[in-house]
Amino acid sequence: MKIELLDLYGIDHALFGIGLSHGLTSGYDDWISLTPELRQRLYDVAEKLCAKDGGHNKFLRQVVYWWDATFPRFLWQEVDQYRIGVTTQSESTMHTIMNRDLVQEDFEGEIHPYVLGTLNGYIEAYRLQKTEKAFLMLKNALPEGFLQRRVWSLSLAQMKNIFHQRKSHRLPQWQAVCQAFVEETPLFLRGIYDA
């Protein structure tokens, strides 16, 4: 399993929006035109608002993260519960699973050699005959520990939600995700994880 930040976008725009809400940036064209003192003031306001709920921290919805994440299928099933403001694009098993033999490193934990041999047997049968039956046999037998890579984009507000719901989850993979969230959140916004 791995999770790496690809990109983070929208902090400056979201802070500019906070300034509009508080009447601080109304006379300015954009973030670049703000004085350093005003920028610092917006950082301070964001730091105070980020841990609040009830719409006070709505600027978090405008801060978007893109992650390069390789998770086992069982974790992706749980990630899929978070649908609003979340998008993924994946290495689709529909299009890629038959391209090569599977190896132990394709799974979150060790799988029995018999299972691995069976899966590769389905792949070989598909390569030889190109039958839908062999393809479906593999899809039906694919363990939940199979690692799938996706580009995962979500807002900082959604990351906050996931963190508070999953930080103490019994799956250690969730704890690793939550740790990555904290590490990649700018220091002045880490208050979203307090509680």
The domain made up of 2-87+148-193 is a member of CATH 3.40.50.1100: no
Q: What is the mean pLDDT of each run of 10 residues along the chain (195 residues)?
A: 97 96 93 96 95 90 97 94 82 86 96 96 93 92 96 95 96 97 96 88
CB 3 within 8 A of CB 72: no
Cα–Cα dist 79/81, whole Å: 5
Q: What is the pLDDT of residue 195?
A: 66
> What was the pLDDT predicted at 114?
97
Residues in the chain: 195
Sequence ranges of the domains in the chain: 2-87+148-193, 98-141
Of 57, 18, 32, nearest to 160 by C-alpha is 57
